[in-house]
Structure 1
C-alpha cells in the first residue's frame, strides 16, 4: 500500500526542499539539521540498504534523534516491519521483543548481544546498523501479521510486553485525522519531541503529523529535555530546551503537564510560544487543565491506545469539552456497550503478533460515555472496577483523578473490593496535609465513593512493589495487600500507619 506519510515527505521535498524537517544535535553536541530534501534522500538511501540486505524486521534501539526517524521512515518506505525498542525496557523485555519479532536488523546507539556490525556506514553519522543470523522459526514464535509496517509493544498491567501489529493504513489514517484536527490552530511551525519516539504516541505526533503538515520537529535526546532514565526529571534542563527551541506544539503526559505548570508560575516566558499542547497517557483532572490554561498553557486532553493507532479522541480549540477526552476523530467509530465499555471500530490494529483481531469492533477495556456532540468521557478501566459490599460499582481511577488536584495525594490508590467502605493507600511526607486533602476530596464525592480509611506506607520498597515497570498500579496486588493489612494492622506497624477519617487525627496518632 502506498504510504500517505511518505508521499507527503516526497511532496514537501520537491516543493519546500530547503525547509527544516528535523533538527537536533549530534553525539558531539553539534547542531544537526535535516531539510526535507536531505531527509528524503536519506530515507531513499537506507530503504535501499535494508532491501538489499533482505531485512525481515528492523528494530530501532536508540535515544531520540533525527537519525532515529530516518531509520523509521526508511523502513516504512521499504515496506519492512519496524520495531521501536524502548530504552527504558529491561534486558529481559528487550530480549523478549527481539525474540517475538525475529528482528534481524538493528539500528542502535548502544550494541546489543547477537547483532554484529554489518557496515562501517552510520545513519546520519550517528546510528550503527547491526545484523544477526536467525535460526528457523519455531512454532512457539508468533508470526508478524501480513501487512504489518509497525510493531509497538505495550507493557501491559503485568509488565510483560505484548506486540501490536499496525498497518500502513492505520498509521496514515490517524496521522491525517490528527493533522486535520489541529490545522485550524494558526502558526503551527515547530513541534518539540518530548516523549520517547519508541512510544507510538510520540512516533505519530512528533514525526508523522509534522511531516504530513510540512513543518519542523525538534528532536533532542531525552537528557536534553530533562528526562533521565525512566523516572528522573530535570525541570531546569527542560526549561532551557523550551527557551532555546520555542516550540508551538508538544505532547505531554499528565505528570509533565503538572511540571510545566509549576515552571510557568515562576518563568512565564517558557510557555509563551505554545499554541497547542496535547496531553495523554492517563486521565487529566479538569482542575489541572484549568490551572494550565490560567498560566498560559493551551492544554487539551486526548485519549487512545496502541491497538487503535494511539489516538481515538482529542480536544482542540475548535472542539473543546473540558472534562472529556475530546471529540472522536473522523477515521474511527466509537460506541458504548450496555455495561459501559468503550468499543472502537475502524482504525484499529491488525492484531497482536500471531493473533489477528477477529472482530470489527475492539473492546478497549475502558468504561466511558459519549455525549450528543461526539465527545468521549472515559471513567476508568472495566477490570479495575470496585464492587463494594453494598453493591456499588466504583471506578478507582475516577476518584484518583479527582485527588490529583492536591499535592499531598500525588501517590494515591483507592481500594475496597467487597468492603463496606473505601480505603486509600498512599505515600506522603505530610500526613496532616494528606488527611486534610482527603477530607476536602470527600466533600466533592457522593457518600458511597468517599474514602474512609487511609493507609500510609512507610517503606518505599513496598510502594514500588505496587507499580509495574511503566509505573502503573498493580491493582490486584494492592487490593490483596490492603485487605491483609486491614485484618491485622498491629502486625505491620513498621510498614504502615492507618487513619480512619471518621475519627480525629489526634485520637489515632497511636497507630502512626
Structure 2
C-alpha cells in the first residue's frame, strides 16, 4: 500500500488532516470517492486529468487516484488553452475531472464539495509501466512536455523531506502554489500528511491569488495571519510580494516556522531581507524529473547562498569539467511518447558542491553568457541579485560577446525614481564579482505570458525579449557605461561585508525574535560600550581633518548634536529589561567590542580622518536595515514593554533620514584617497561589528524565558 495512505490511517484519528477533515474522517472520504470513481470509470485505465482550483476535494481526489492506481494528470490553471489541449491529447487522457459543472458531467460528492467527471475521446497512449502521475512542464517553448513519474518515487521525495525537516514542523501548512504544481503536491500535501500535519487547501480567491500574475499580496498576508500558518511553499516572486506587503503594513507572521522557496534562484540578499521581516525562509532546488525537490536548506542545516543538502534518497554529482549537475533516478520513468528514462538524469543546471555537501546552482547551461573576455556568466545569478532589491520587480540580463553587461529592468512601481534604481543596481553589483556587474540598465514594461515574454510558469523567454527590445540592447561601441556616484560605489564595494554581517547567527535570531532575554541584555551591554565612543570619535575625526577636508566639519557637528547622549538611552533600556545598568556603565566591554573601537580611533589618527564616514555608513546603514524589525520581533517574543527598546526603535527611525543626508554628503567626496579610506574603513568595521555580535553569548528563548520580564 502507498506510504501516504498508510500514514493517514496510522495517525491519531482525532487530529485535523485536510481542512475540516480529521485523519479518521479523511480515510472514509478517500474510500468513498475511490468507490465512486471505480463505478464510473470501470476498467478504463487511461489517465484522469484534473482541472480545478486548490481545495480539500482536489487533495482527496489525488489520494483516491493513488489508492486506485490510476494515472493522474494535473492541469495547472496557468496553461494556455493550446497547452491544455496538447497535454490532454498527448497523454491520451480518458477522463477529465473539474470543479465547474458542465453538460454531460457526472457529479462526484466529496464531503460538502462537488467535482464533475467527464469522459474524453482521446486515443490511448502507451505510457511507461508504473506511471502514477504525469506532470507537464512548460519549459521555454510553447509545447509542454509530459514527465511520467512513479508513486514510489514521489513518496520517496516526501519521505526524505519529512526525514530532513522533522515532524516538529508539521503544523498548519497552507497551500499557496497551485496543487497541480508538483512542488506543492509532493512537498506540500504528501509531506504534511506523512508527518501528521494539518493541510489547508484554500481557494485562490481567499488568498488573493485569483489573478495569478497580479496577486493581492495584502490579502495573502491577511489570510496567512488569520489561519496562523506554520509553513508555506513559495516561488521567489511570491516571496518578494509577501515581503513588500509586510514591509508596507508593518504586520508580521509570527506563527510561520518554515517558508520553503524554490522554482528559481534566490539571492542571499533577498534571504537576508526576509530574515529582517521575521520570515524563516529556506531555499531549495528541484526538477520535475526528480519528483520536485532535490535539495533543501532546513532549520537545522541552512547555508545561505546554497540550495541546501541533497535529499538522502538521491545521489547527486557535478561534472568537474562542465559543472553540469546530474542525479540518480528514482521517480522519473520517461517522457510521454519517448524512450524509457536512463538511470541518471542530466539536469542542464550548472552547480557545485562544497565540502559539507551543500549544493549551489548557478543557472542553466543553455542560458550562459560568454562575455568578450571569455568569462562565463549565468544570467540567473545576476538577475536574482537584482530582483532581490525592493525597487526591481523583474530583470533580464544580456551581454553575450560584449565587454560589459546590460540589464532590462521592470521597476516595482511606475515612475520609479531613476536614482533609486541606480542605487538598487549598485547594491546588486556589490554582491557580484567585477566581471558579472551590470554596466548599463534600461527600464521596460513588464514581462508577462500574455505579451509572450514569459513562460506560463514565469521564466523569461530571452530570445523574444531580446527581439522586442533590440533597440535598447544594440549600442555604439564608443558608448560609455553609466557613471557611478561615490555613494553607489561605497555600497557596491562593501556589500559582501554587509551581507556577511547580516548572516551572523545572533543577528539572524534577533531579527526573528529567537533570542533570550539574557542575550538581548548582553547585546545592549556591548552597544553601550561602543555607542559611548560615537561622539568622542566624531570629535577626534573633526580635529584630525586636513585643511582640504574641513568642508566636512558642518556635517560632523550635525552628527555630534544628534548623537549626544544616546548611550544613556541604552542604559535605560537595560534597566527596564531587568538588567543592572550601573554595572554596565562601570564595566568593561568584550574584547571584540574594544577591538572595533580601538581600530576606529587608530584609523582616524593614523590613516585618514575622512575614513570615519565609513563607520557612519556601517552603523547607520545597519541600524536602518535591522533596528526596527529586530526590536519589534524581540519585544513580542520576550513580551517586553516598549520602554526596553528606546535605543533601537529611535535609532532606526532617525537613521532613515540620516541615510539620505549621508548619501548626498558622500557624493560630494571627490578625492580618490578619501574615497578609498571611507570604503576601507567601512569594510573593516563591518567585519569587526560582525565579530562583536559573534562574541555575544547566544541563547534562544524558551517558554520559560519568554515570561521572565
**TM-score class, shorter:** 0.7 to 0.9
Distance (Å, rounded) in 2 between the aligned partners of 1:232 and 1:402: 22
1:97 aligned partner = 87
Summarize the alignment of residues 162-173 of structure 1 with structure 2, pairs less than 5 Å apart.
Answer: 162-173=145-156
Higher strand share: 1
Given the alignment of the two structures, is residue 46 of structure 1 paired with residue 33 of structure 2, yes or no?
A: yes
Q: Structure 2: which 5+ residue stretches go unaligned?
A: 486-709
Structure 1's 50 and 356: CA in aligned 2 closer, same or farther, altered over 3 A? farther
Matches of 2:189 and 2:420, distance apart in 1: 43
**Contact 2:409 2:442 (C-alpha < 8 Å) held by counterparts:** yes
Q: Does 1:201 align with 2:147?
A: no
Q: Say whether the 8 Å CA contact 1:175–1:208 is kept in structure 2.
A: yes
1:255/1:503 CA distance change after superposition, 3 Å = closer
Deviation readout 1:458-481 (Å, 9 max, x if unpaired): 687899442222221112233455
What does the per-residue CA deviation read over 1:434-491, in whole Å, with 9 as the maximum and x for residues that have no partner?
A: 23332443344333222222233368789944222222111223345555544479xx
Counterparts of 1:387-406 in structure 2 under 5 Å? 387-406=370-389
Question: Retained in 1: the 8 A contact 2:93–2:122?
Answer: no
Residue 182 (1) aligns with residue 165 (2) = yes
Report if aligned partners of 2:152, 2:331 keep a CA contact under 8 Å in 1.
no
Moved more, 237-246 or 323-332: 237-246
Aligned to 1:376: 359
Structure 1's consecutive aligned runs of 4 or more residues displaced over 6 angstroms after TM superposition are: 459-463
**Counterparts of residues 495-506 of structure 1 (less than 5 Å):** 500-502=481-483
Cα RMSD for the two superposed structures: 2.5
Q: 1:314 is matched with which residue? A: 296
Kindly provide the CA deviation profile for residues 268-293 of structure 1, in whole angstroms up to 9, marking residues without a partner as x. 66411111111111111111112222
Q: Tell me which residue corresponds to 1:343.
A: 326
Give secondary structure in 2 for the equivalent of 1:21: strand
Structure 1 residues 425, 51: CA separation in 2 closer, same or farther (over 3 Å shift)? Answer: same
* Contact 1:292 1:299 (C-alpha < 8 Å) held by counterparts: yes
Going from structure 1 to structure 2, the CA distance change for 1:134 and 1:455 (only over 3 Å counts) comes to same
Secondary structure of 1:83's aligned partner:
strand
| 2:230 is aligned with 1:254 | no
Shift of 1:301: 0.5
The 5 A counterparts of 1:18-417 are: 18-23=14-19, 33-52=20-39, 53-54=41-42, 55-56=44-45, 57-110=47-100, 116-118=104-106, 120-134=107-121, 136-137=123-124, 143-183=126-166, 186=168, 188-265=170-247, 270-337=252-319, 338-417=321-400
Q: 1:191 to 1:462 in 2, by over 3 A?
A: closer
CA offset at residue 151 of structure 1?
A: 1.0
Are the equivalent residues in 2 in contact too, given 1:202–1:251 (CA < 8 A)? yes
- Cα distance in 1 for residues equivalent to 2:59 and 2:193: 11
Q: How many equivalent pairs are there?
A: 475
The superposition leaves residues 315-357 of structure 1 with CA deviations (integer Å, 9 ceiling, x where unpaired) of 0111111110011110111100120111111334112112244
Partner of 2:660: none
Distance 2:256 2:89 in 1: 42
CA distance in 2, matches of 1:310, 1:152: 10
Is the CA contact 1:415–1:482 (under 8 Å) kept in the aligned structure 2?
no
TM-score (norm: length of structure 1): 0.87
Instruction: For residue 361 of structure 1, report the CA deviation from its aligned partner.
Output: 1.3
Structure-1 residue corresponding to 2:404: 421
Residues 393-442 of structure 1 show CA distances to partners (whole Å, capped at 9, x for unaligned) of 11111111111232233221110112222111123333332233324433
Range 62-71 or range 85-94, more displaced: 85-94
Establish whether residue 455 from structure 1 lines up as the match of residue 454 from structure 2.
Answer: no
Structure with greater helix percent: 2
Q: Assess if the C-alpha contact under 8 Å between 1:154 and 1:164 holds in 2.
A: yes
1:189-211 deviation line (CA, Å, top 9, x unaligned): 21111111010111112211111
- Show CA shifts across 1:352-406 (max 9, x none): 1122444211111111000121110001111000112221111111111111232
Change (3 A) 1:461 1:90: closer
Partner residue, 2:593: none
Deviations 1:207-235 (A, max 9, x none): 11111112211111011111122212112
CA contact (8 A) 1:416 1:479 kept: no
Judged with a 3 Å threshold, the aligned counterparts in structure 2 of structure 1 residues 438 and 165 are, in CA distance, closer, same or farther, namely same
